[in-house]
């Protein structure tokens, strides 16, 4: 599917945003380069800031190809950065002690570049996927990148109304690390706890936005700790103790163990979150359902949105419109 | 010449011009308005007066449908979104589908009928004054925190078509007035703080008969099943459920 | 003695217009202030310690107690306390003992931290009507879990969890030994914690058999003196705490004056009646961090790895490094006792000058453990001057899992913090072993009072959490972002990892 319909769907919810940020991510858009990590970078000044990044990347692997991400001027969007894409192959020998050297190298590079802030920001770092975002309204951002020119099998889109920082390109959603992309509606009151927890595992929060922490938590719980997506959501939005106390013994033990282990990862505050990776899409809300979330299906398509009307803009015949239960995920799996 | 009815094509029409068209029509004496191709427009009918006006919404309206509305009837052929009937004062909303969270939030009068299911915090902080009593009736099921903070009014959940009326926590949490009536019974662990559940008496059931019949006729249902069923009433355990939490300095 | 009398600390007067001559003041005062002389009541103000027992039981509010009735020429440096301490030592040539916690006017960090509440961008949560979880588990947590997907779709837990204590509120009662306080006082605390679903410390005085019914809510203490420590004692506790230090006297051991060692205390502690119970400064089998690890393991082996082992340290300069060492020793919790911690008897110079505030200590312990990726290895319990629910909320934001209260629990039983615990004549029946005084403390009534205190604080904590948009205490823990410092200097703000108000 190309990006034209999701742009319309997102724009139909402009009422919920403030025009300070919007973004899209699409999976499957680089079939010719699908073996390589597609790094999307914002450069402040292409002349000064690109060479150092090229050097850094060349130390850790090979830049197979890089080019400017084509953009089209929009009156409502001030072009503050130059977006660029690299297709990069990390050299696993650079991290000989790691069991997942490629992912660890990419993560290391993303954290390093983004915390050093030398005029370069890596905002997308997965294989065969790309994030397109900026500070502007959904339509403007979509037209800026012409997302209708990209074809992907899985899309996320988000319209932002920033609460704690002014809108800036890096602060727009989706937030991405490796193949994980996250969009989020709400505010995480446990951010101070979650951030310090995730940072003790070597991740660095550099985007001044609470949502960033969700991408890293999912990477830690699912990729590093091997939890299933369902169990990861169970850790991030666990059942209440009063419910756990009523469960049968084995289930009780399991849920208690999850809460004890992942207490600092528990997310509090109102939220509706959608997470994507190359194989799946899952959405969930906070445990007392303070934000809206709706899912729908049509054949082999799954839709998750803040509003049914937005889904119907893409697929007027969508069926099985349901509201997931508070804290419980809707999970869709890609099958080939 | 006054047209008795008006049809509006809502496709790609922003809610402000849409509402302006509605108001102009009502001011002109139009009694029946049909809006086609509604897709996500918020605030339809907000603050609108006109006791004899009926608006039919074909499609999926956006949030805060009929908010502050005082008089008209709105019929929705589709699902409603967030908080239809929000702080509604008078009139009727009939939804041939489901609705989202906070349905009838702070409602103070009038009726909202939802054929299928509602989301979380349905009927939250409904209030009444003497005979001015809001009524929310749900044909399917409701989620957690149904009737939270209820101060007045009537909330009925029927659990038709095999649905369980409520299977989540916090029913009537903080209720200090009004009543919630569910078909069957709610498990004790789902009752909220300060709420108590009692079986309905024949007299109380008789008092809701006309409402059930009205609901049934709005959706073409057979009222007999509704009238024959058993119901439970959830009401305030006390008028001041939290009085013993506080002490003076 | 050429120094002469030092001024009265308190002047006691009876308003004869109001007095009804019931004599309750005479009956109740255990310090010898009142005596009957014919029809009149005579007062010896010099004996008064302002324990307020007389005032509390006077049916006519006829008693007036005035502190510092005589003025010195005031001086900011040569305070009354400085002058009188010198008089004391000139007379005696000895180390001055004192009770209760730090009495020097250092600024209180808690009083310069403020909490956040949610508005607009985030709704606050109503703890009365929506779920609010204060349940806390104290002990070692796994850093990840081994789960296995079973064919039917169920998930199996393969990781074995180490034993944790489950408490329904993050407030526990700290260690106040039988000897330091009376058995009735311990009984009142024991009843209270068992009803609330929390725990209390036995202190280093052993566990008296009348408290055995409450043992599942007891944390037994292994202090340097090893008083009352036998396998029976260790097995009875729900958890075992190794006391390395105490906030009121970092670097020194416990001191129970002989006056308080009655027959029963002598039996429970296994020392001669009337002798001072001295605990050495260090455990004489722990001279290095690796020795602590051995002690932890020996206790675990002896109790078959069934009980969490806590290690209590006084908050000193390198608390964070010590805590990291403790976390690696196999212990399940670190108790950090700040310099405001109370005591029945401690040298005044230590009480007032040694140690650091618990706010700073907990903040740096939490940060260091996280930095080293071992925060899950131990729970952090904070103590030392926790006076109200806001202190509890703030210290949890700074990184603590739970708190121990000491002085607050005693105040709930009537203690007025007169600070003369070491005399053994506590008129409230708390810090004494004299049977006629101990009798005054009814365990049941006082249990209700302590329970009320913890209950009131717990409800307030729930409200504070709800206002901050949090409904599970895990999300308050270490969440520095919900605090702001008000007129704290930059260095301290950095240590606390807290921003300034307005930021």
Averaged pLDDT for residues C61-71: 96
Average pLDDT over residues A54-68: 97
The domain limits of chain C are 10-94, 168-500
Which chain A positions have a beta carbon within 8 Å of B117's beta carbon?
Answer: 323
Note whether B169 contacts C459, CB cutoff 8 Å. Answer: no
Q: Is the pLDDT of residue B1 over 60?
A: no
C156 contacts chain A (CB < 8 A): yes
pTM, full prediction: 0.92
pLDDT tier, C277 (very low <50, low <70, confident <90, very high otherwise): confident
Query: How does the average pLDDT of chain B come out, rounded?
Result: 95
**Structure tokens, B249:** 């300095």
**pLDDT tens sequence across A134-159:** 999 999 999 999 999 999 999 999 99
pLDDT tens, residue by residue, A169-223 = 999 999 999 999 999 999 999 999 999 999 999 999 999 899 999 999 999 999 9
Q: Closest Cα partner for C261 from C222, C187, C204? A: C204
Contact C130 B149 (CB under 8 A): no
Q: What is the CATH number of domain C168-500?
A: 3.20.20.70
A161 to chain C: nearest residue by CA? C121
Distance from C-alpha of A101 to C-alpha of A93, rounded to nearest angstrom? 8
Strand partners, C36: C41
Token pair in block for residue C43: 């007062």
Spatial neighbors of B70 by CB under 8 A, at least 6 apart, are: B47, B48, B49, B88, B89, B90, B91, B109, B110
Which residue of C lies nearest to B149 if distances are taken between CA atoms?
Answer: C129
C459 close contact with B: CB closer than 8 A: yes
Are residues A309 and B40, on separate chains, in Cβ contact within 8 Å? yes
The most confident of B21-25, B236-240, C127-131, by mean pLDDT: B21-25
What residues of chain B have any CB closer than 8 angstroms to a CB in chain C? 145, 148-149, 169-170, 173-174, 192-193, 241-242, 245
What integer pLDDT is reported at residue B141 of this predicted model? 97
With cut-offs at 50, 70 and 90, classify the pLDDT of residue C282: confident
Question: CA–CA separation, B100 vs B80, rounded Å?
Answer: 7
User: Pick from A192, A225, A254: which is nearest to C155 by CB?
Assistant: A254
C152–chain A Cβ distance below 8 A for any pair? no
Pick from B145, B242, B245: which is nearest to C130 by CB? Answer: B145
Token pair of C101, please? 């916690």
Q: Does C159 touch chain A (CB under 8 A)?
A: yes
Q: How far apart are CA A164 and CA C358, in angstroms?
A: 31
Q: Quick one: pLDDT at residue C1?
A: 65
pLDDT in tens, C451-474: 999 999 999 999 999 999 999 999
pLDDT of res. C97: 87
- Strand C147-149, strand C155-157: pairing: antiparallel
B128 to B88, B111, B175: CA distances (angstroms): 12, 12, 13
> A249-262 and A229-236 helices cross at what angle (nearest 10)?
70
Q: Which stretches within C271-335 are classed as H helix? A: 289-302, 319-327
Alpha-carbon distance of A165 to B72, in angstroms, equals 43
Please answer yes or no on whether A254 and C371 come within 8 Å at the CB atom.
no
> Which of B85-94, B196-205, C121-130, C273-282 has the lowest average pLDDT?
C273-282
User: If you average pLDDT over every residue of chain C, what do you get?
Assistant: 94
Yes or no: say if A175 and A181 are a contact pair by the CB < 8 Å rule: yes
pLDDT, tens digit (0-9, with 9 covering 90-100), for A301-321: 999 999 999 999 999 999 999
A328 close to B (CB below 8 A) = no
Q: What is the mean pLDDT of residues C94-110?
A: 91
**Segment A224-283, tens digit of pLDDT:** 999 999 999 999 999 999 999 999 999 999 999 999 999 999 999 999 999 999 999 999
Contacts of A103 (CB under 8 A, 6+ apart): A178, A223
| C37 interface with B at CB cutoff 8 Å | no
- Interface probe for A, chosen from C363, C366, C401, C479 (most Cβ of A below 10 Å), is C479
Find chains touching chain B: ≥3 CB pairs under 8 Å.
A, C
Q: What is the 3-state secondary structure (H, E, C) of C464-486?
A: HHHHCCCCEHHHCCCCHHHEEEC
* Maximum separation of any 2 CA atoms in chain B, in Å: 70
B145-189 pLDDT, tens digit per residue, is: 999 999 999 999 999 988 899 999 999 999 999 999 999 999 999
How far C318 CA sits from the closest chain B CA (Å)?
41
ipTM: 0.92
Domains C10-94 and C168-500 share a fold: no
* pLDDT grade for B3, boundaries at 50, 70 and 90: low
Dump strand ranges (E) for C153-308.
155-157, 165-167, 171-175, 200-201, 218-222, 239-243, 255-256, 277-278
Which residues are A20's β-sheet partners?
A: none
CA-to-CA separations, B202 to A83, B211, B229, C371, in angstroms, rounded? 71, 15, 11, 67
Q: What pLDDT, on the 0 to 100 scale, is given for residue A163?
A: 78
Strand, coil or helix: A264? helix
Task: Give the closest-approach CA distance of A318 to chain B in angstroms.
Answer: 12
| Chain C residues with beta carbon closer than 8 angstroms to that of B170 | 129-131
For the stretch C211-226, pLDDT in tens is 999 999 999 999 888 8
Mean pLDDT of the residues in chain A? 96
- The fold of C10-94 is Alpha-Beta Plaits (3.30.70)
| Domains by residue range for chain B, with CATH | 98-236 (2.160.20.60)
- Residue C354 pLDDT > 90: yes
Do C58 and C5 form a contact (C-beta atoms < 8 A)? no
């Amino acid at each position: 599917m190309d990006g034209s319909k999701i742009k319309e769907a997102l724009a139909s919810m402009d009422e919920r945003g403030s025009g300070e940020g919007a973004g899209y991510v699409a999976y499957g858009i680089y079939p010719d380069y699908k073996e390589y990590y597609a790094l999307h970078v914002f450069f402040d000044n292409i002349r000064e800031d690109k060479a150092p990044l090229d050097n850094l990347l060349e130390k850790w692997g090979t830049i197979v190809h890089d080019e400017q991400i084509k953009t089209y001027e929009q009156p409502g969007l001030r072009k503050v950065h130059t977006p660029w894409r690299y297709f990069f192959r990390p050299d696993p020998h650079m991290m000989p002690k790691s069991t997942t050297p490629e992912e660890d190298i990419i993560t290391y590079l993303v954290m390093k570049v983004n915390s050093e802030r030398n005029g370069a920001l890596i905002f997308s770092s997965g294989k065969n996927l790309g994030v397109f975002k900026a500070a502007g309204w959904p339509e403007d951002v979509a037209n800026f990148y012409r997302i209708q020119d990209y074809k992907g099998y899985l899309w996320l889109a988000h319209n932002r109304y920033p609460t704690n920082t002014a809108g800036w390109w890096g602060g727009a959603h989706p937030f991405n690390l490796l193949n994980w992309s996250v969009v989020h509606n709400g505010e995480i009151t446990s951010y101070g706890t979650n951030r310090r927890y995730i940072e003790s595992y070597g991740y660095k929060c550099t985007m001044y936005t609470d949502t960033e922490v969700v991408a890293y938590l999912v990477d830690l719980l699912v990729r590093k700790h091997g939890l299933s997506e369902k169990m990861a959501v169970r850790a991030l939005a666990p059942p209440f103790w009063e419910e756990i106390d009523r469960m049968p013994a084995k289930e009780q033990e399991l849920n208690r163990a999850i809460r004890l282990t992942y207490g600092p990862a528990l997310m509090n505050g109102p939220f509706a979150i959608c997470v994507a990776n190359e194989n799946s899409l899952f959405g969930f809300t906070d445990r007392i359902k303070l934000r809206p979330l709706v899912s729908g299906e049509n054949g082999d398509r799954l839709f998750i949105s803040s509003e049914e009307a937005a889904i119907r803009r893409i697929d007027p015949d969508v069926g099985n419109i349901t509201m997931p239960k508070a804290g419980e995920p809707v999970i869709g799996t890609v099958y080939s | 010449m006054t047209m008795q009815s008006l049809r509006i094509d809502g496709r790609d029409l922003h809610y402000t011009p849409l509402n302006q068209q509605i108001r102009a029509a009502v001011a002109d004496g139009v009694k029946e308005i049909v809006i086609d191709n509604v897709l996500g427009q918020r605030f339809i009918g907000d603050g609108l007066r006109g006791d004899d006006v009926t608006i039919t919404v074909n499609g999926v309206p956006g949030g805060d449908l009929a908010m502050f509305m005082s008089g008209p009837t709105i019929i929705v052929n589709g699902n409603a979104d967030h908080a239809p009937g929000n702080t509604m004062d008078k009139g009727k909303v009939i939804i041939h589908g489901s609705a989202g969270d906070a349905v009838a939030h702070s409602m103070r009068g009038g009726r909202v009928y939802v054929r299928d299911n509602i989301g979380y915090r349905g009927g939250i902080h409904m209030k009444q004054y003497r005979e001015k009593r809001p009524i929310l009736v749900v044909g399917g099921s409701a989620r957690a925190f149904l009737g939270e903070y209820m101060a007045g009014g009537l909330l009925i959940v029927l659990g038709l078509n095999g649905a369980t009326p409520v299977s989540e926590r916090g029913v009537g949490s903080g209720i200090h007035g009004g009543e919630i009536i569910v078909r069957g019974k709610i498990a004790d662990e789902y009752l909220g703080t300060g709420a108590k559940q009692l079986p309905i008496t024949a007299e109380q059931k008789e008092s809701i008969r006309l409402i059930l019949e009205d609901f049934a006729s709005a959706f073409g249902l057979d009222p007999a099943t509704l009238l024959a069923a058993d119901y439970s009433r959830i009401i305030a355990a006390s008028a001041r459920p939290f009085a013993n939490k506080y002490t003076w300095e | 003695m050429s120094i002469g009398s030092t001024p009265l600390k308190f002047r006691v007067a009876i308003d004869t217009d109001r007095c009804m001559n019931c004599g309750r003041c005479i009956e109740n005062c255990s310090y010898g202030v009142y005596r009957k002389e014919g029809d009149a009541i005579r007062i010896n103000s010099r004996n008064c310690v302002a324990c307020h027992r007389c005032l509390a039981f006077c049916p006519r509010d006829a008693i007036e107690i005035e502190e510092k009735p005589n003025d010195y020429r005031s001086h900011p440096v040569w305070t009354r306390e400085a002058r009188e301490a010198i008089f004391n030592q000139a007379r005696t040539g000895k180390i001055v003992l004192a009770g209760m916690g730090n009495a020097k006017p250092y600024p209180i960090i808690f009083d310069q931290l403020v909490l956040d509440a949610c508005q607009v961008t985030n709704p606050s949560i109503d703890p009365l009507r929506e779920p609010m979880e204060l349940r806390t588990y104290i002990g070692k947590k796994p850093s990840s879990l081994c789960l296995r997907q079973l064919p039917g779709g169920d998930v199996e837990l393969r990781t074995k969890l180490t034993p944790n204590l489950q408490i329904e509120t993050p407030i526990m009662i700290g260690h106040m030994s039988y000897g330091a306080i009376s058995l009735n006082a311990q009984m009142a605390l024991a009843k209270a914690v068992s009803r609330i679903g929390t725990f209390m410390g036995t202190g280093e005085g052993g566990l008296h058999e009348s408290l055995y019914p409450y043992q599942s809510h007891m944390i037994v203490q292994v202090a340097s003196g090893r008083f009352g420590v036998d396998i029976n004692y260790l097995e009875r506790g729900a958890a075992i705490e190794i006391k390395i230090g105490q906030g009121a006297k970092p670097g020194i051991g416990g001191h129970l004056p002989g006056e308080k060692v009655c027959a029963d205390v002598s039996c429970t502690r296994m020392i001669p009646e009337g002798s001072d119970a001295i605990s050495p400064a260090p455990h004489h089998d722990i001279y290095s961090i690796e020795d602590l690890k051995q002690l932890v393991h020996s206790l675990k082996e002896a109790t078959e790895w069934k009980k969490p082992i806590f290690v209590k340290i006084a908050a000193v300069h390198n608390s964070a490094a010590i805590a990291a060492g403790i976390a690696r020793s196999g212990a399940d919790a670190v108790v950090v006792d700040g310099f405001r911690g109370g005591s029945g008897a401690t040298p005044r110079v230590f009480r007032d000058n040694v140690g650091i505030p618990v706010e700073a200590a907990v903040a740096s312990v939490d940060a260091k453990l996280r930095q080293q990726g071992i925060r899950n290895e131990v729970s952090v319990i904070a103590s030392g001057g926790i006076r109200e629910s806001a202190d509890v909320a703030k210290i949890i934001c700074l990184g603590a899992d739970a708190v121990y209260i000491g002085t607050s629990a005693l105040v709930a039983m009537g203690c007025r913090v007169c600070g003369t615990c070491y005399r053994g004549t506590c008129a409230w029946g708390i810090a004494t072993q004299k049977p006629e005084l101990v009798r005054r403390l009814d365990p049941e009534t006082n249990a209700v009072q302590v329970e009320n205190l913890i209950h009131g604080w717990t409800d307030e904590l729930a409200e504070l959490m709800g206002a901050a948009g949090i409904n599970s205490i895990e999300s308050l823990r270490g969440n520095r972002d919900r605090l702001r410092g008000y007129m704290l200097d930059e260095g301290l703000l950095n240590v606390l990892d807290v921003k300034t108000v307005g930021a």
